[in-house]
A and B are shown apart, each in its own frame.
Chain A
Amino acid sequence: EVQLVESGGGVVRPGGSLRLSCAASGFTFDDFGMTWVRQAPGKGLEWVSGTNWNGGSTGYTGSVKGRFTISRNNAKNSLYLQMDSLRVEDTALYYCVRGQGLSPFDYWGQGALVIVSS
């Protein structure tokens, strides 16, 4: 059974940092690109960042470029999102998703809540 479990969410002040992690199991992790999608409270889905199978190709939505960094450790079956210079508008539930963005997002974690507030 495919499982994606996020961790690392929390409350942080504007300008602060957080690192999200996603532990993957139930599939061959390095066969798949991976993605972070977020959902602000009461809003729709927004693609944040994606990576190919080995981290050699990554992409970011415009509003997080230069502030967020996606990475992965295939030996640990883990995906990460380093979030720096956080803004109030980054407040959202962050989902770890299997798929890179040139394939459908077929499995989703339950999400990690990030709240940016002073």
Chain B
Amino acid sequence: EIVMTQSPATLSVSPGERATLSCRASQSIRTDLAWFQQKPGQAPRLLIYSASTRAAGIPARFSGSGSGTDFTLTISSLQSEDFAVYYCQQYNIWPPEGTFGQGTKVEIK
């Protein structure tokens, strides 16, 4: 089982500032990593796949990087609608037990 660890658990950021979220895999997953955004009362939404490719309709202020075991999601200039919980997901191993990180909550500072 691959363990996905996200940090920090909570990130306090002011609107307009940059947010940097981390996700670490317990073993190499190449670039088989996705990022999701979840707002209260909503289903998760795919932001990034293949570690760095934005999904359709995702603004350019969201970017992903990394490979192997260490990954980063960067939100270049936080907008009010970006305050949410973000999850990473690996899809390198089947079955994907433990596929999700525990989440990072981005809150208003």
Q: CB within 8 Å of B: which residues of A?
A: 37, 44-47, 50, 59-62, 95, 99-111
Contact = CB atoms under 8 A, between A and B. Distances in A.
Nearest to B33: A104
B83 interface: no
B96 A47 contact: yes
Contact of B89 (A59, A62, A105): A105
Given A45-B100, A47-B96, A108 B91 contact: no
Contacts of A110: 43
The secondary structure that dominates the B interface is: loop
The secondary structure that dominates the A interface is: loop
A104 B90 CA distance: 8
B94 to A, nearest CB: 5
Given A105-B46, A111-B43, A44 B96 contact: no
Given A60-B95, A101-B91, A95 B43 contact: yes
A51 to B, nearest CB: 11
Contacts of B44: 45, 95, 105, 108
B102 interface: yes
A47 B91 contact: no
Interface residues of B, number: 24
B91 A102 contact: yes
B97 A47 contact: yes
B93 to A, nearest CB: 8
Given A99-B91, A104-B91, A44 B97 contact: no
B34 A44 contact: no
Contact of A102 (B45, B87, B94, B100): B94
Contacts of A102: 91-92, 94, 96
